[in-house]
Amino acid sequence: MPPEPAIADPSTSDNPSVVLERFRDLEGKVRQTRPKEDLGLLRRAFDFAAERHRLQKRKSGEPFMVHPLEVAHTLADMRMDVVSLATGLLHDVVEDTTATVAEVEKEFGKEVAHCVDGVTKLSKLDFYSPEARQAESFRKMLLAMVTDIRVIVVKLADRLHNIRTLEHLPPEKRERISRETLEIYAPIALRLGMGKIRGELEDLAFAYLDPPAFADLSLQLESKRHANEEFLEEIKKEVAAKLREAEVPAQVEGRIKRRYSIYQKLKRQHCTVDEVYDLLALRIITDSVKNCYAALGVIHNHWRPVPGRIKDFIAMPRPNLYQSLHTSVISHSGQPFEVQIRTEEMHRLAEEGIAAHWKYKEGHKGPMMDEQRMAWLRQLVEWQRDIQDPSDFLSTLKIDLYPEEAYTFTPQGKVIILPRDASPIDFAYAIHTEVGHTCVGAKVNGRIVPLKSKLRNGDIVEILTQAGHTPSRDWLSVVKTSRARNKIKHWININQREKALEIGSKLLEKEARRAGLSLSKVPPETMERVAHDYGCGKMEDLMAALGYGKYSARQVVGKLAPAAGEVVELPKGPSRPHPVSGDEVLSVKGVDDLLVYRAGCCNPIKGEPIVGYVTRGKGVAVHSKTCPNVENLMYEAERRIEVEWAKSEEATYPVRLTLHTDDRPGLLNDVTSILSNDNTNITSVEASTDTARSAMIEMTLEVQNMKQLERIVGAMRRIPGVRDVERVHKL
């Protein structure tokens, strides 16, 4: 039986001395159970919390401090360490007062601060958010966030006290907390093997969540309570006597199954209370595994076992490491009852679970131990249900049990579930398409990170956006969610088409002007018909096709012109470039911009004279006017298009230089100091010498424009020993 919760008497609890008294009790408990602990830390945590919560009251009218104190008491009853107790006392100061985690760390050290921070984060999780609609994923998420088991234990103790004092809250809140308790916290307690806390959480939540069912069940149990208790008392004596006879040392306890468990069984098996085999149960606690089996033999010798009800959880522990022998037998009066047999240690693990585990390992503290504990916890998190084969269970212990998802958070605490290795770009698109399109950077846990970095469980992500910024095709190789991928592709498709339309119409106009045709005089039906000839539904589609370089603008003009009733002379063969008029000029941004890209053969940089060439299906390639390819390409004059550098664009371009120099010491240093004086970034540099006492330096720089490059090359040429500086166009 769990000890009765000690709750301060509301009539006197306005008096802070009640709070103080309760703290003295806590100190007394710790002195008894963990005499070596630092009571000074406990005292300071109490003083700090009591001071911060000084003016706050609970809904019941009690001083708020009663709550953290009761949480700490529960933890002390579990014999948790003083860090857990201090966390219990401080668990609401960050959430509910002006105190910060930094302050807690300053006062109480990293460990306590880390745990308080953990509990605070958990309380910010919104169970009712759409992402968390599935209780299962919420539980996973919750556990995935936890890096210290004590955070969970404190959270469970917190929830236990909340639900014990639920009657003071308004009905909607009662229902919400009860549901959350049943769906989230009780299962977590179960998975962590904490049977005692789980039982109390379930029964209390059940009473609030389904009052009629609870009342009905209570009534049924109450009517038989007397008979049941009498039966248990008698059978207990009988079992104890039989065990004594067989010389099996044992402690025998009787219990009536908890109400929520009965309720679930009734629902699952569609039976009545009388048909529940384990409504009444005896628990035999003995000293060794051998005696567990001996006790089982004694029981089966005297009472007839119910077939199929014998379960050996000693040989095959449950996934939460629960161990026990279970059997159901029929009494001589025909009343079935269950018998659970286990050792002292198994019993402690069944009641306290992970908390018991924590205690056993104390004295071996250190990061290694913590990691092992976390590994163990995560094994439990696998939520294995009934495993039939023990080797199955063992094999699950070996596999990688980290969830496939990364649970990340907005600064406001909203949960964003992403696949493993997702990037801040995925995160941005998960928030909103516009946020995705305009994202330029991200902060993870307060630090700026590259957009292609990988997000991890528990990361708090803030997306930096810039109005007018647009997605980059490179993002497609970074993103992991289909949502982000689709949004980026969609954006590119639309914008590529717009760009193609723009290019197409410019090409068409240029060609028309050259042929002396005014496009505005071409009747729309003709436009339509010519478009159809090319298999395009509308003129717009044809223009886009021209922009993509699918068809020749000259030929299209050739088809439009006669129809417009005009005589047109089509220029033949290579022709000199057409004089530029303003509206024919495409601006080119620094980075490859979908349909307009810098040609890889010459990699022109800003400020350099350039020329555009409409490729077949790949948009407009921008070449340096001095690029040898240009002359070869430009015989198709109609494919040529005027381009110019965009005015406002602030970008850097990689430029490769080769320097031929004398082999003299300090020369490389002279070269690099020119670059640093000019604030120019070097991305790579390599120097080599040959036998003729000459050297070669190859380097890649990032420059903003032609002027800067000319300045740098000029300065390099003036360095004594530099014979030549050569720009290598191909990167």
Residues near Mn ion (CB under 5 A): 92, 158
* Tally of CA atoms within 13 A in the half-sphere of 694 that contains its CB: 8
Of the candidates 47, 51, 95, 167, the residue annotated as catalytic is: 95
Burial of 595-615, coded b for 16+ CB within 10 Å and e otherwise, reads bbbbbebbbbbbbbebbbbbb
SS3 category, 192: coil
Q: Min. distance of Cβ 72 from Mn ion in angstroms?
A: 11
Minimum CB separation from Mn ion for residue 158, in Å?
4
Task: Choose among 295, 342, 339, 297: nearest CA to 315.
Answer: 342
CB of 445 to Mn ion, least distance (A): 25
| Residue whose CB is less far from Mn ion, 92 or 338 | 92
CA 238 to chain centre: 56
Read off the tokens for 690.
């040959």
Task: Tell me the three state secondary structure of residue 617.
Answer: coil
Among residues 65 and 716, whose Cβ is nearest to Mn ion?
A: 65
Nearer to Mn ion, 46 or 429 (CB): 46
Give 92 or 593: the residue with its C-beta nearer to Mn ion: 92
The least CB distance from residue 133 to Mn ion, in Å, is 24
Output the smallest distance, CB 16 to Mn ion, in A: 19
Question: Count of alpha carbons within 13 Å of 303, Cβ hemisphere only?
Answer: 23
**Distance separating alpha carbons of residues 514 and 557, to the nearest angstrom:** 10
Among residues 92 and 117, whose Cβ is nearest to Mn ion? Answer: 92
How far apart are CB 115 and Mn ion at their closest, in Å?
13
Quote the least distance from Cβ 151 to Mn ion, whole Å. 13
* Strand 311-312 to 325-330 pairing: antiparallel
Residue 469 corresponds to which tokens in the numbers above?
Answer: 């910024």
Catalytic residue from among 25, 38, 96, 370: 96
User: Is the distance from CB of 338 to CB of 281 less than 8 angstroms?
Assistant: yes
Cβ closest to Mn ion, residue 158 vs residue 511: 158
Bridge partners (DSSP) listed for residue 623: 611
**SS3 (DSSP) at 398:** helix
Closest separation in Å from C-beta 50 to Mn ion: 15
Q: How many CB atoms within 10 Å of residue 639?
A: 20
Give the Cα separation of 169 and 502 in Å (integer).
64
Report whether 629 contacts 544 (CB < 8 A): no
Q: Which is nearer to Mn ion, 158 or 351 (CB)?
A: 158
**Residue whose entry in the numeric block shows the structure tokens 């390819």:** 629
Shortest reach from residue 91's CB to Mn ion, in Å = 6
Produce one character per residue of 466-491: b if its CB has 16 or more CB atoms within 10 Å, e if not: eeeeebbeebeebbbbeebbebbeeb
Closest to Mn ion by CB, 92 vs 509, is 92
Q: How many CB atoms lie within 10 A of CB 269?
A: 11
Give the DSSP H/E element, type plus range, for residue 314.
none
Cα–Cα distance list, 527 to 540, 564, 638, 652 (Å): 10, 10, 20, 43
Show Cβ contacts of residue 55 under 8 Å, excluding neighbours closer than 6 positions: none
Q: Which helix (DSSP H) or strand (DSSP E) does residue 587 occupy?
A: strand 586-588
CB 52 within 8 A of CB 97: yes
How far is it, in rounded angstroms, from Cα 65 to Cα 316?
Answer: 44
What backbone phi and psi angles, to 5 degrees, belong to 680?
Answer: -100, 135
Identify which of residues 93 and 695 has a Cβ nearer to Mn ion in the complex.
Answer: 93
Total number of residues shown for the chain = 731
Q: Which two tokens stand for residue 19?
A: 């709070």
Shortest Å distance, C-beta 94 to Mn ion: 11
Q: Assess whether 96 carries a catalytic annotation.
A: yes
CB-wise, 92 or 608, nearer to Mn ion?
92
Owner of token pair 């740098």: 712
Residue numbers annotated as active site:
95-96
